[in-house]
Chain A
Amino acid sequence: MSEFIVFVLATAVHMMVPILLPALGETLSQRSGVLNLGIEGIMLMGASLGLIATHITGSPYIGLGAALAGGLLFGLATLVIVILLHVDQVINGVGIWLLGLGASTFLLKWYVAGLPQFPTIKTLEAIPVPYLSKLPFIGPVLFQQNFLVYASILAVALFWLILFKTTFGLNIRAVGENPLAAENAAINVNWVRSITILVSAAMAGLGGCYLSIAHVGLFTHNMVAGRGFIAIAIVVFSKWNPARAILGALIFGGAEALQIHIQALGVMVPYQFLSMLPYLLTISMMVAIGRKAEFPKALTVPYKRAR
């Protein structure tokens, strides 16, 4: 039984990453007043681009780079639409999401057309941390993972430091609470928001890529399966704090891990109901926060500089 628990927890940490990475980026963008609702679509692009680049070059690192670049490109599109054209952030988000949903599948189908068989790749291998991986219980759960797991945990600390301990982080929060006052304090509102949009898009690209190159090793239509929206729910749940986001993401990783492993135990529940767990969990989480959520004051409000 303890072996089973270790197994579930290790999978939980593994499945935490594709929600944690986009949630961290989204935390920054929302803190600056931008609801980047399109991250689901950007994750799909990351998953598709990452797989194709890895399949071509044989290097998952180049795959990650491609996903990052694709994320930035979509971030640029978001930036133009939201910052320059002042389009409603919700409409933009729906647009970017549906764009990613279609373009990711199109790209893969296009690539597959010239191949003898469906592209699959070897998933990222685990890199055991010396000494620590030998620890009982904690070792296999935390220290026998792929490098992106370690990187994402470090990213939590990094994002927390940026947001709460640097001037730039202070600027981000100021811009998200009261852009006019921030502008009067000589902070360039649109510049700060542009950066947070790009960061959130890049993180979404990486998060999506994790699914295709570190989890399953292939791409299927709509494979992100709502994780982008779940990440947005986590941002609210964690009160826009990167340190709390890891907790939220871990809960979801846990739900997915349970769903994967419980079936192996031979529990007689139709798999569809187990697969509903993360979605039901998200809704309950949103209900639990309900009215108590204190959104950044300027969230979704476009900023037009006074001339």
Chain B
Amino acid sequence: MKGRKILAIVAEIGLAFAASAFLIAAMGVDPMMAYGVFFSNAFGSLYGVAETLTVATPLILAALGIIVAFRCKFWNIGAEGQLLLGAAIAAWLGMSVKAPFSLMLPLLFSASFMAGAMWGVIPGYLKAKLQVNEIITTLMMNFIALLFVSFLVEDLLKEEGALFPRTPPILPAAQLPKLIPGTRLHAGFIVAVALSILVYLVLQKTIFGYRIRSTGSNPLAARYGGINVTRYTIYAVILSGGLAGMAGMGEVSGVHYRLVNNISPGYGYFAIIVALLGRLHPIAVVLTGIFFGGLIVGSSAMTSMTVIPGAFMYVLQAFILIFMLGIDSMMEKMKLF
């Protein structure tokens, strides 16, 4: 990635913080104090860093999926639903299959990959074969997945006697090991980082990745070049949905140890911004993912210590997005990229 691009990303984030400072001041809070709370909680202690990386894990995984799809010009905004399906299957298998640790985790990883992939392949097939607009179908699939999870949690797999709707816990063999004792950070983070390198290698260094990228950059040329565009679109969507499904598995096996209604506070949507901010680069999204993890952790700390509402992170995130669109197009106009 070129230095100018990295500089642009830093500038966008800086401007977003500066713009948000005005909003914080308008609420009668000293912005320096608020940001102090923000950064010290997100990055200032071992616990804070662990918490940030925990939240970054699903963001990185889902963003990797989004990258594969977007690079193929398949506008998959259904990572949220694919993540939920992956979480659902992991919770169901995790509570009902009795197997040793060494079998259980591979089973859960592959099952949640397949569940997410299946959820993505439906719109993928419709797009590739029938030219049905994927933006709308992937979003509709999100709402269906959300309702399906709610049905599992409140009805089919409901834990009897629980105070609020949830499924019974998964078995110990289905739990991802902790990386730092006393924190929530789990091995899923390592998986996410390893997969980002893998996705980078596959996209940039293999013929398979080249074909996916060619399909995205110019489908007509790709077709003349002998690439089966329909097939590669579907491959991209399988990878995309599968990665998001694994993000859901990480939340169940590494964080909650069961399925609950709000298992994802919108990770699949945040991941779109994580991916765009990282310029659809698989390695860069590890950094933007960690940054967004910090954003979520820091904002919630800010909320509990000041009068700033928890939805503040949405505003910061929105500012980042706006500055990103603005700065990018201006740099393009000035031929800086």
Contact = CB atoms under 8 A, between A and B. Distances in A.
Q: Does B bind A?
A: yes
Interface of A: 37, 77, 81, 85-87, 90-95, 98-99, 101-103, 105-106, 109-110, 112-113, 225-226, 229-230, 232-233, 236, 270, 272-273, 275-276, 279-280, 282-283, 286-287, 289-291
A286 B144 contact: no
13 contacts: A77-B322, A85-B325, A98-B321, A99-B321, A106-B312, A110-B27, A233-B133, A233-B136, A272-B150, A272-B154, A276-B147, A279-B143, A282-B137
B36 to A, nearest CB: 21
B325 A91 contact: yes
Contacts of A275: 147
B325 A81 contact: yes
B27 A272 contact: no
A275 B151 CA distance: 11
B311 A102 contact: yes
A5 to B, nearest CB: 26
SS of A interface (majority): helix
A287 B154 CA distance: 31
Interface of B: 27, 75, 77, 126, 130-133, 135-137, 139-144, 147-148, 150-151, 154-155, 269, 272-273, 276, 307, 309-315, 317-318, 321-322, 325-326, 328-330
Contact of A232 (B75, B136, B314, B322): B136
Contacts of A103: 314-315, 318
B131 A279 contact: no
B329 A98 contact: no
Contacts of A113: 307, 309
A95 B326 CA distance: 11
Nearest to B276: A91
B132 A286 contact: yes
Nearest to A95: B321
Contacts of A91: 276, 325
B273 to A, nearest CB: 6
A109 B300 CA distance: 14
Contact of B269 (A92, A98, A282, A283): A98
B310 to A, nearest CB: 7
A113 B309 CA distance: 8
A283 B122 CA distance: 10
Contact of B325 (A92, A233, A276): A92
Contacts of B312: 106
A124 B74 CA distance: 41
